[in-house]
Amino acid sequence: MKPGILAIDVGGTGLKAAVIDDRGQMRSDRQRVSTPHPCPPKLFLDTIAALVKPLPEFDRIAIGFPGVVRDGRVITAPNLGTEDWAGFALAPALSKRLGGAPVRMVNDAEMQGLALVDGSGLELVVTLGTGVGTALLQDGVPAPHLELAHHPLSKGGKTYDEYLGNVAYEKIGKKRWNKRVKRMLEVLEILLHPDRIHISGGNAKRIDFELPKGVTIASNDAGIEGGAALWRKPAAKRPAARRAAARS
């Protein structure tokens, strides 16, 4: 049997990993540990190495990371500590730590989206957990990542993270938090007019109102399953390769 894909879903609360096949089906039980806080890169790599040790053989790695990532490098990591992470080349470091398997990395909401979307029209994925993640996909292809989580949402200037993240939920309670989720969906409809919205993340289960047409709650396992779709995409060209292509 061909070795599988090690899929890693990085969250502000938990780190999850499993080995999946090319269709996104589980070849192993999902492993989970709490995310250390603080979580600088070295501790992260140590924790991931221990997390995946019991898993079966793999020959590729897919990782969904909560922040802006580009060309295998972390740009922002708001839930893990941007001051520790900014500029860190996570993809090659993870490959080296885990035996040299190639790594593809995207934002964690985008990896969920690759497993959730229907693949037609404009689809939005929203993850509700430690913070709020978003991914926009057109006909199944992720658009350039937008950090909506750090854009003001409330009249008082609170961002999506501050308004709807886990800290807010614990502070204001389920009833008020659900009113805020309704408000978020109204704003996203005005802003993007998506054909469908898929809501995932650990706090999605706390939604208790009737969702608008075209809005569904999805499995949180998509953060793992999307790793297969990530490997069905062609690898992005490196910057030098893109410049060479432009000159030819």
Question: pLDDT of 69-118, one tens digit each?
Answer: 999 999 999 989 999 999 999 999 999 999 999 999 999 999 999 999 99
| Cα–Cα distance measured from residue 226 to residue 212, given in angstroms and rounded to the nearest whole number | 25
What's the confidence (pLDDT) of residue 246?
46
Helix/strand/coil for 167: helix
DSSP secondary structure, 179-210, as one string: HHHHHHHHHHHHHH--SEEEEESTTGGG--SP
Q: Token pair for residue 7?
A: 């899929």
Residue 88 near residue 32 (C-beta atoms within 8 A):
no
Which residue has 């961002």 as its token pair? 159
What's the confidence (pLDDT) of residue 23?
94
> Can you list the residues of the chain whose pLDDT is less than 70?
233-248
Question: pLDDT of 47-56, one tens digit each?
Answer: 999 999 999 9
